[in-house]
Amino acid sequence: MKKQNSPQYYHDYLKLDSILDSQYLLSKELGVEAHDEMLFIIIHQVYELWFKQILYELDSVITAFDKGTVNESHIGIAISRLDRIIEIQKILIDQIHVLETMTPMDFLDFRDLLNPASGFQSVQFRVLENKLGLDKSSRFTYGSRNYKSHVRKDHRENIQKAEESPSLFNLLEKWLERTPFLEFKDFKFWEQYRSAVDEMLANDKGLIEKNERLSEDEKQIQLKEYAGTEKKFDALFDQDKHNALIEKKEHRLSYKATQAALLILLYRDQPILHNPYKLINRLVDVDELLTTWRYRHALMVSRMIGRKIGTGGSTGSEYLKKTAERHRVFEDLANLTTFLIPRSALPKLPDHIVRNLGFYYDSRGNK
């Protein structure tokens, strides 16, 4: 880094003239200033600044995983970057409380001036969704129009570029598929794991059938849920069934990647798997916090405008609720807890596999 020749002044370094002069009140221009328009503008400008920082962190994670080999140090860096994104997301959610100090009547003082502008046109947020890996076929749209049609042509190009570039979901899937410990050779892990699963499921079914506190109707409901769980496990052990669920959009993560991610969760206590486990957990956190932000946003919009149409022409809060339900990226990772079994029931790994999964040294100091 080159040494700074001229001394810096705080105000100039942060370009505060540009930032602090960028709040232009439309209501003031019309001669009847709406006091809360200032808050509305600043809140959304701050959102965009935080989106910029999230994209900056996310790009570094994508760069680390967009390689043929991902080093252990890269995983650690990715985790720290995702930790930062998570903390920013918490701020985004908390910011809604500040916006809610504006009452619905305060918002009506300037709401009509915003038409047809809408948060739906946030280019950075659309880019963020694409870089995370939102499946375009799963997008909830309104008006039967492509989501990119609501922004300017130059912005459409930015969104399209992000849509066509490798996403974090795609890169994570490829990384999991390359996991070397999927093949155990002389150790039949999946056979032993399936035996433990069958025993666990049989016990669960028996508890339902023998539960005297449940009525027959309640037993039938729980047994139906049990059958659904059994079906999910069947797909875990049968690649064709798993692929069929992918075709039906019930799963997205590939069969091999799903198995690798599950192994990481099951044997998270092995030293070499601890960082991959933390990485998977952070991605689930990012996904859940984004869903929480969407849902809190939906509640806030419902509180502000009720059942009215949004300024951009969407169905307002109903549209936001739908996106919260459907715009999950790493839901397959979150659902892996379905397949967890107690540590006591896990197949015991042979010593040579434990050595490969740990930091093992013999008495001579050799690994």
Residue-level pLDDT at 183: 63
| Calpha distance 313→120 (Å, rounded) | 10
The one-digit pLDDT tens for each residue of the chain (367 residues) are 666 678 899 999 999 999 999 999 999 999 999 999 999 999 999 999 999 999 999 999 999 999 878 888 899 999 999 999 999 999 999 999 999 999 999 999 999 998 888 888 899 999 999 999 999 888 877 666 788 888 899 999 999 999 999 999 999 999 999 876 656 667 788 888 999 999 999 999 999 999 989 999 999 999 999 998 899 999 999 999 999 999 999 999 999 999 999 999 999 998 889 999 999 999 999 999 999 999 998 888 888 877 655 554 455 567 777 777 788 999 999 999 999 999 999 988 888 777 776 643 333 434 4
Contact of 283 with 268, CB cutoff 8 Å: no
Nearest CA-CA partner of 144 in 337, 345, 313: 313
> How far lies 41's CA from each of 21, 22, 24, 47, 118, in Å?
12, 9, 8, 10, 12
C-alpha neighbours within 13 Å on the C-beta side of residue 299: 9
Query: Could you tell me if 321 and 237 are in contact, meaning their C-beta atoms sit under 8 angstroms apart?
Result: no
Token representation of residue 114: 């915003």
